[in-house]
């Protein structure tokens, strides 16, 4: 059974930083293309960052140069370092494979105040 548990969200002022973590069990994250997705109120869920099995990172235009996705294979954990946060980054953030192929967890709420 696959479990993906997100943590690290919170309330931050614009320009601030947060680091999200996704602890995985039931899968080996380094054997998957993993992604961070987000869903803002009234909007569809979107993929914002992806890390491939080979370690290549890919970002949505809206977060490129501000967010960094990484992984720790020993801890089987995926991270999302979010810098220079903007109010429009406010959303619930979810970890999944990059296609969203596993069940969605509760996510972690990120709120950026202006």
- pLDDT tens string, the chain, 114 residues long: the values are 999 999 999 999 999 999 999 999 999 999 999 999 999 999 999 999 999 999 999 999 999 999 999 999 999 999 999 999 999 999 999 999 988 889 898 999 999 999
- 114: Cβ contacts below 8 Å, ≥ 6 apart: 14, 87
Q: Using alpha carbons only, what angle is made at residue 105 by residues 103 and 107, rounded to the nearest 5 degrees?
A: 140
Give the 3-state secondary structure of residue 45.
Answer: coil
* pLDDT of res. 73: 96
Could you tell me if 38 and 48 are in contact, meaning their C-beta atoms sit under 8 angstroms apart?
Answer: yes
């Amino acid at each position: 059974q696959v479990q993906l548990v997100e943590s690290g969200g919170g309330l931050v002022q614009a320009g601030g930083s947060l680091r999200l973590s996704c602890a995985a069990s039931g899968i080996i994250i380094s054997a998957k293309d993993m992604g961070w997705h987000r869903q803002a109120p009234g909007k569809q869920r979107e993929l914002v960052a992806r890390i491939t099995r080979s370690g290549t990172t890919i970002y949505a235009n809206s977060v490129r140069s501000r967010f960094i996705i990484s992984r720790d294979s020993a801890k089987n954990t995926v991270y999302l370092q979010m810098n220079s946060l903007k109010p429009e980054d406010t959303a619930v953030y979810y970890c999944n494979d990059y296609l969203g192929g596993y069940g969605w967890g509760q996510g972690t709420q990120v709120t950026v105040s202006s």
